[in-house]
Amino acid sequence: MNRIMKYAAAALAAATAVSTLGGCEQLENKAPEDTVAVSFGDTNIMLDEVTYMIRSMEYTYESYFGSNICSNDMGDGSGMTVGDYIKQMSLSQLRQTLVLNEYAKKNGIELSDDQKAKVDEAIEKLQTEAEDYLDAVGATDELIEKTYTENAIANLVYMDLVADVDTTVGDDEFLRKKIAYVKLTPSELTETTAAAEATTEASSDEGSSEESSSVENTETESISKDDETSTEEASSEKASTEEASSEKTSELSSESDTEASNESETLSEEEQERQDAMNDAADKILKEFEEGNDAADFISDYQNDSHFTATNSEISISEDGTAVYNAAAWALATDECTVYKSDDGSIYIIRCIDDNDEEARQSAIDSEIESRKTALFSEKYAEIQDESSKFKVDEDVIDTIRFTTPVYVAPSEEESSEGETSGEETSENETSEEESSKAEKSSESDETEEAVSEASSEEESK
């Protein structure tokens, strides 16, 4: 149900707006399996099943975010706790499953023998590999089989509802280019340089800029001295230039043919040294790329320079990408290279590996089609839900499900140490991740989804 839940987020709101049942009396002296928590038309869903669903989701959240997560506020201003949210999401999932199963029954949608076999395999795998989890959430064989089967049918309905989704895309609509780049990021200037730059009012974003703050300082001092002496013998052109520079020096760095003064010459040399080092490295890296070399093979040669840090990456980009270098990279054809200098002083040396990355393009197309399925399913599901049986929740019964004791308990350091001593191959972190994965698969029924999808694909290929 993981995918189905993603395609019906609106169901959460619906789950909170359902009718309620009055059930205070039925709580007395009744076992959970005999206590009605939810009704859907003439069908009653007992407290033990709802509890199992809620505890499954709780287990997943606690395994990822910590055992005390359920008491935390959601932080959205609603006053809702994570525990409240888990209840609502579980009820939303339950309602959607019931609605889709009812639709399946009305329209003759059933699991094939192959699909049933796949579901049985998923159940057997869960029971074999996640015994601790099943004990923690109170799962019985009957509940597991019922939940997995209903989720598989719901997923089958989902696939039926989105079968006619529009999959048409333009030839170049999702064009992607694969690039490799090395980024040179300038190291911090000395504290003295930083302090000197702070005293200037010019906006100097880069140490790589040829118009450094030291030039501005020089001009400011020259202008100030000229203003003080007020030499009328100076040419009108120079006086005009100095006046304009005096007015704008607080906002922009002016161009000047005058060399830096002795006071700021040391700072300028430091910046220039850094810039020269970066430019030299960029030239060498560009040559490496032009010769077809992989950045991973030579990047280490540039990672011990005190003037900059060097990192490399290999990604696919689209024409409307937002990276600062995107336009420069997009203009490249396969095996072409370029150098891009950003406003923050960084230098990107870019090589186009493939100007038609088919794998990335297909991934983008798949993502687009999934988005279309989302919209289509949401639209159709809303209509189906409107015509479905009424979903009623007994709030008094649901309120008996509390989050006082965590269902997930992380392995202690002592247990982890004992495991290592006994030669266990799995670390504490790996164990936690594995249990989290199993819990998520159980609570969201990813395995049943995969089973149905796989079986359906096999049938279509016959």
Give one DSSP letter per residue of 238-307, joined into a string: HHHHHHHHHHHTTTSPPP-SSPPPHHHHHHHHHHHHHHHHHHHHHHHHHHHHHTT--HHHHGGGGSS-TT
Q: What is the pLDDT of residue 4?
A: 42
Distances, alpha carbon 169 to alpha carbons 113, 194, 364, 374, in Å:
35, 52, 11, 17
Evaluate whether residue 51 is within a structural domain.
yes
Q: How many CB atoms lie within 10 A of CB 222?
A: 15
123 and 141 share one domain:
yes
DSSP 74: -
Domain of residue 91 covers: 2-167+360-461
Whether residue 172 lies inside any domain: the answer is no
Q: What is the pLDDT of residue 396?
A: 95
At 249 the pLDDT is 41
Instruction: Please tell me whether residues 155 and 266 are part of one structural domain.
Output: no
Q: Is this prediction's pTM over 0.75?
A: no
Do 22 and 144 have their domain in common? Answer: yes
- Last residue within a domain, chosen from 355, 378, 402: 355
Q: Give, in degrees to the nearest 5, the angle at Cα 289 between 287 and 294.
A: 130
Distance CA 299, CA 305 (A): 11
Q: At what angle do helices 213-229 and 236-248 cross, to 10 degrees?
A: 120
Q: How many beta carbons lie within 10 A of that of residue 218, not counting itself?
A: 21
Question: Is residue 277 domain-shared with residue 338, that is, in the same domain?
Answer: yes
Q: 76 and 205 in one domain?
A: no
117 in the same domain as 222? no
Question: Which of 355, 373, 404 is where one domain is finished?
Answer: 355
Element holding 23 (H helix, E strand): none
Domain stop point among 323, 355, 387: 355
Clarify whether residues 192 and 273 are in a common domain. yes
Contact 154, 445 (CB under 8 A): no
Kindly list the averaged pLDDT for each block of 10 residues, start to end, along the chain of length 462.
44 42 48 93 96 96 94 93 96 97 97 96 94 92 95 97 95 94 84 41 39 40 45 45 45 42 56 93 98 97 95 97 97 98 96 97 96 97 97 96 91 59 44 42 51 58 52
Q: Both 135 and 163 in a single domain?
A: yes
* Residue 390 shares a structural domain with residue 367: yes
Q: Verify that 318 and 379 share a domain, yes or no.
A: no
DSSP state for residue 138 in the 8-state scheme:
T
| Contact partners, residue 376, CB within 8 Å, separation at least 6 | 161, 162, 165
pLDDT, residue 390, reads: 97
Is the same domain home to 217 and 341?
yes
The reported pLDDT for the residue numbered 423 is: 47
Same domain? 342 vs 428: no
Q: How many domains does the chain have?
A: 2
* pLDDT of res. 238: 45
